[in-house]
Amino acid sequence: MKEIAQGESVLIRDVTLDGRQTNIRIEGKTIVSIGPEPGGETDVVIDGKGGIALPGLYNTHTHSAMSLLRGYADDMPLQQWLGEKIWPLEAHLTAADVYQGTRLACLEMIRTGTVGFNDMYFFMEETARAADEMGMKAQVAYGFIDLFDEEKRENEIRATEKLVRHIRGMNNDRIRAAVGPHAIYTVSPEGLRWCAEFSRQNDIGIHIHLAETEQEVKDCIEQNGMRPAALLDDCGCITPRTVAAHCCWLDADDCTLLGDRGAFASHNPSSNMKLGVHRAMPCEWLRNAGAGICLGTDGCASNNNLDMFEEMKFAALLQKFYWNSQTLLPAAETLSMATAGGAAAMGFDGGRIEVGAPADIVLLDRAAVCNTPLHNPVSNAVYSCNGGAVTTVLCNGRVLMQDRFIPGEEEILREAADAAASLVGRATEQS
Amino acid sequence: MKEIAQGESVLIRDVTLDGRQTNIRIEGKTIVSIGPEPGGETDVVIDGKGGIALPGLYNTHTHSAMSLLRGYADDMPLQQWLGEKIWPLEAHLTAADVYQGTRLACLEMIRTGTVGFNDMYFFMEETARAADEMGMKAQVAYGFIDLFDEEKRENEIRATEKLVRHIRGMNNDRIRAAVGPHAIYTVSPEGLRWCAEFSRQNDIGIHIHLAETEQEVKDCIEQNGMRPAALLDDCGCITPRTVAAHCCWLDADDCTLLGDRGAFASHNPSSNMKLGVHRAMPCEWLRNAGAGICLGTDGCASNNNLDMFEEMKFAALLQKFYWNSQTLLPAAETLSMATAGGAAAMGFDGGRIEVGAPADIVLLDRAAVCNTPLHNPVSNAVYSCNGGAVTTVLCNGRVLMQDRFIPGEEEILREAADAAASLVGRATEQS
């Protein structure tokens, strides 16, 4: 099988960075020099002449194995979609499916310039294995759902502890564990408190859905006399290690709370639009309150892809449309959300091309139509290009894609397609 | 220079159409058979094994030469953006620029599966020439703007008559003329009436902006005591030959009016979102009223690309988000808007793969990640893929792109980039 040449030292020659042609030199996992002189010999030389360098992107909210469900069901009322289509299929998911689905997702993310992702789902050991093999960075959380039942809670606690032990045992600086309390309507306050305490003791992230729908907010106020963010905070779940996904229905006080706690809000515009949530995350309020803002695609059942370039455009456009201003979330800020903002949210060093930073680098095709003309590379990256303009991807100094070639792609596609067909077959057989 | 083999007869072999493998046979401009038997020899054989066939897409609202302005200015308040950036640059546009910009736009549209476009701008003879050379279908209109001034009106009338004579002289069934009264706030009622009458006499289309912003509606009511659609109708501009772009702020009565007249509404979701118009075209009301609905990208200054696959996703998602329903504008209806709906709006036969139909055919890459798994090709086309999944495009039986190769691409990109740089240079010099 064809492979990509790897080495301890890599030179990206004559690449365009911040509008100037330069050379980026990498030793091990780290960028060691950037400048007009390429310097001495390296193990690997990448011709960057046709490329524009950007930091690798971070997808801060996804369920990557749901790539197997891409296009399986759409355009249905939410409860019917979940109850008749998504949950019955998920009930048949195996560990092997999650491995195949995550490999497919990693393939798609690498192809579209993403180097790291934040995942909450089941069989997360398999997600970690796939991410590791594909060379990506990942923060993985077991989706903790106790449905307010004590016995279930004990199971979820054991599953979470087991995953965190497993990830620690991998001893891999690209793969981190997090706790994944699903949401306030699926996890009891006791479960949330356990997650918060476990996260604190182990210094690991918290990945949760927050204020996705208006119904969630209404129900929470009715049942608890407070809004979802306040309830989560009451349980200790709003921390600097927290990534709260969606956040569509946060009010100004909620934003202040997230800002005060130094938490991160992951904007998922495509998913929010497809599922008709009718309100866009208040990015401006959150930023002004001091909260971190980042970007995510959500899973493939509700997007239906993992292209963070497309997601940047959805984010920048949805903010302007919903919040009624042509100047909200400009291109540079959107790119920053998708890179530095995402890395910070997941606790990874990354999201910048600088000496001393991890070599997480994406090259965009300068000769692509979407980059012609090239008045403004950042505008083109956000508004004009999609992930198809990505030619080359490095993560921690390792070349994951070169000139659009990813080793093993055909096998990954074939095995994922087979797994998806078999999954639907098993689910249909039983119904 | 490398070329694509062309011929009087073309066979697309073993292609996937509506979920089945089949063969599509083309004689001249027309599909003559579809079926399991490939039939006898043809001049050209295209291996369709890795492809999914869809009808070619129609972009029903654009200003294609604005491709030269891609990324030139974004994220600014509308009036400042127009007054300080877009208009000063447009003041320096030459006929040669429009030719180069349109060639670039055609390249991008072909690459992303579009076979026909509806254009309103200046130097439209050049737009027609570029579209003709690139092998596309186009309806071209001179942007008629009299600013309520009689002398200007006479100029615009002469310019419109001249363009229509020119297009008639081309005697090309792929290139049609239309009248292009810009909008109710830039064209006097007398100008609108002349356009309507001229369109009727010559049996050509009307291409106009309608109810794009709330301000337009408010101002119209204040100044004329009626809403923009009613004013246009009063001037005879709402006809079965009319494509009204944007239509964001139509109310239910406006929709009924467009339906009663058999007019077409072109949804331009990316542009509407980027420019923060804060309301989405009421597709459902329009369809229920009997109006035609179709899709367009608008120009590259306000999108910033011409990818109709991306635009389909924006449309299907924005409808759900804004109108608060997960079931609005499902995938199949979206694809129909972008194909059959668009062809009908522009008065072309097209938008379907059937015996007797023009051979406007797009092949999507079956092996692309966005088509894996392939539970539902239509869902994947709308929600998962972008134009990068298009491998091969035929328009009227001529192969415009094959296996992602378009003849002359490098030259088109280089010349357009040069034209854009020179345009900015001239505008900057003078300022």
B212 labelled binding-site residue: yes
pLDDT of residue A428: 87
Residue B62 has pLDDT above 80, yes or no: yes
Per-residue pLDDT reduced to its tens digit, B277-297: 999 999 999 999 999 999 999
The residues near A20 (Cβ < 8 Å, ≥ 6 apart) are none
Name residue, tokens 């912003």.
Answer: B213
The answer for A19, left when phi > 0, alpha when psi is -120 to 50, beta otherwise, is: left
B90 labelled binding-site residue: yes
Contacts of B321 in chain A (CB under 8 A): 272-274, 276-278, 318
Is the separation of the CB atoms in B259 and B247 below 8 Å? no
Contacts of A276 in chain B (CB under 8 A): 320-321, 323-326, 328
- pLDDT band, very low/low/confident/very high, at B395 (cuts 50, 70, 90): very high
Nearest CA in chain B to A409: B369
Residue B381 has pLDDT above 80, yes or no: yes
Whole-angstrom distance, CA of residue A201 vs CA of residue A220:
28
The predicted model gives A88-106 an average pLDDT of 97
Q: How many CA atoms lie within 13 A of B75 on its CB side?
A: 17
- pLDDT band, very low/low/confident/very high, at A2 (cuts 50, 70, 90): confident
pLDDT of residue B2: 82
- Characterize B321-348 residue by residue with b for buried, 16 or more Cβ atoms within 10 angstroms of its Cβ, and e for exposed: bbbeebebbbbebbbbbbbbbbbbbbbb
A379 touches chain B (CB under 8 A): yes
Q: How far is CA A352 from its chain centroid?
A: 17
The residues near B201 (Cβ < 8 Å, ≥ 6 apart) are none
Residue A1 has pLDDT above 70, yes or no: no
A:275-334 residues touching chain B, CB 8 A cutoff? 275-278, 300, 303-305, 307, 310, 313-314, 316-318, 320-328, 330-331
Q: Are A72 and B386 inside 8 Å of each other by CB?
A: no
pLDDT of residue A389: 98
Whole-angstrom distance, CA of residue A315 vs CA of residue A296:
10
pLDDT cut 70: percent of chain A above it: 99
The predicted model gives A31-60 an average pLDDT of 96
What is the SS3 assignment for B123?
coil
Whole-angstrom distance, CA of residue A126 vs CA of residue B55:
40
Whole-angstrom distance, CA of residue B21 vs CA of residue B35:
9
pLDDT of residue B429: 85
Is the separation of the CB atoms in B269 and B241 below 8 Å? no
Q: What is the DSSP string of B194-212?
A: HHHHHHHHHT-EEEEEES-
pLDDT of residue B1: 62
What does the domain layout of chain B look like in residue ranges?
9-55+353-404, 57-345
Whole-angstrom distance, CA of residue A98 vs CA of residue A416:
10
Radius of gyration of chain A (CA): 21
Q: What is the DSSP string of A326-364?
A: TTSS-HHHHHHIIIIIHHHHTT-S-S---TTSB--EEEE
Please tell me if the domain spanning B9-55+353-404 has the same topology as the one spanning B57-345. Answer: no
- pLDDT band, very low/low/confident/very high, at A45 (cuts 50, 70, 90): very high
The Cβ of residue B133 has, within 10 Å, a number of other Cβ atoms equal to 13
Q: Are B384 and A78 inside 8 Å of each other by CB?
A: no
Where does B113-171 show beta strands of DSSP type E?
114-121, 137-144
The predicted model gives B337-346 an average pLDDT of 98
Residue B251 has pLDDT above 90, yes or no: yes
DSSP letter assigned to residue A389: G
Residue A431's alpha-carbon distances to A96, A427, B192, in angstroms, are: 22, 6, 61
Supply the mean pLDDT for chain B. 97
Name the helix (H) or strand (E) containing A218. Answer: helix A214-224
pLDDT of residue A429: 85
Is the separation of the CB atoms in A381 and A335 below 8 Å? yes
Q: Two tokens at A25?
A: 């030199």
Q: Which of A137, A136, A179 is nearest to A161 (CA)?
A: A179
Q: Are B274 and A383 inside 8 Å of each other by CB?
A: yes
Counting every residue written for chain A, the total comes to 431
By Cβ distance, the residue of B68, B275, B380 closest to A326 is: B275
A148 touches chain B (CB under 8 A): no
Residue B113's alpha-carbon distances to A81, B232, B388, in angstroms, are: 31, 33, 9
Q: What is the DSSP string of A255-294?
A: HHHHHHHT-EEEE-HHHHHHTT------HHHHHHTT-EEE
Candidates B107, B372, B393: best to mutate against A (most CBs of A within 10 A) is B372
Q: Which of B313, B331, B325, B334 is nearest to B376 (CA)?
A: B331
ipTM: 0.98
The three state secondary structure string of A173-210 is CCEEEEEEECCCCCCCHHHHHHHHHHHHHHCCEEEEEE
- pLDDT band, very low/low/confident/very high, at B431 (cuts 50, 70, 90): low
What is the SS3 assignment for A76?
coil
Record: fold of B57-345: TIM Barrel (3.20.20)
Q: How far is CA B14 from its chain centroid?
A: 30
The Cβ of residue B32 has, within 10 Å, a number of other Cβ atoms equal to 15
Name the helix (H) or strand (E) containing B133. Answer: helix B124-134
Whole-angstrom distance, CA of residue B305 vs CA of residue A317:
13
Q: Which of B270, B219, B225, B214 is nearest to B247 (CA)?
A: B214
Instruction: Give the minimum alpha-carbon distance from B372 to chain A in angstroms, rounded to a whole number.
Output: 6
Residue B430 has pLDDT above 80, yes or no: no
B298 labelled binding-site residue: yes
Class of residue B44 by CB neighbours under 10 A (exposed 0-12, middle 13-18, buried 19+): middle
Whole-angstrom distance, CA of residue A201 vs CA of residue B226:
66
The residues near A345 (Cβ < 8 Å, ≥ 6 apart) are A58, A60, A118, A243, A264, A266, A292, A294
Is the separation of the CB atoms in B246 and B281 below 8 Å? yes
Q: Two tokens at B183?
A: 């909008």
Is the separation of the CB atoms in B282 and B250 below 8 Å? yes
Whole-angstrom distance, CA of residue B331 vs CA of residue A408:
31
Q: Are B74 and A374 inside 8 Å of each other by CB?
A: no
Per-residue pLDDT reduced to its tens digit, A128-149: 999 999 999 999 999 999 999 9
Is the separation of the CB atoms in B318 and B290 below 8 Å? no
What is the SS3 assignment for B173?
coil
Query: Using omega within 30 degrees of 0 as the cis cutoff, is the peptide bond preceding A304 cis?
Result: yes
A274 touches chain B (CB under 8 A): yes
B61 labelled binding-site residue: yes
Residue A178 has pLDDT above 70, yes or no: yes
pLDDT of residue B428: 87
Contacts of A318 in chain B (CB under 8 A): 273, 321
Q: Are B317 and A78 inside 8 Å of each other by CB?
A: no
Is the separation of the CB atoms in B335 and B57 below 8 Å? no
A427 touches chain B (CB under 8 A): no
The predicted model gives B346-352 an average pLDDT of 96
Per-residue pLDDT reduced to its tens digit, B235-245: 999 999 999 99
Q: Are A380 and B71 inside 8 Å of each other by CB?
A: yes
Name residue, tokens 């689910």.
Answer: A427
Is the separation of the CB atoms in B123 and B93 below 8 Å? yes
Q: How many CA atoms lie within 13 A of B21 on its CB side?
A: 9
The predicted model gives A68-92 an average pLDDT of 95
Q: In the CATH hierarchy, which top-level class contains the domain A9-55+352-405? A: mainly beta
Per-residue pLDDT reduced to its tens digit, A244-294: 999 999 999 999 999 999 999 999 999 999 999 999 999 999 999 999 999
Counting every residue written for chain B, the total comes to 431
A49 touches chain B (CB under 8 A): no
Residue B211 has pLDDT above 80, yes or no: yes
Per-residue pLDDT reduced to its tens digit, A286-341: 999 999 999 999 999 999 999 999 999 999 999 999 999 999 999 999 999 999 99
β-pairing verdict for B114-121 and B57-62 = parallel
Residue B398's alpha-carbon distances to B99, B115, B170, in angstroms, are: 22, 11, 19
Q: Which of A23, A33, A30, A27 is nearest to A9 (CA)?
A: A27
What is the dotted CATH code of the domain comprising B9-55+353-404?
2.30.40.10
Q: Two tokens at A168?
A: 């620690």
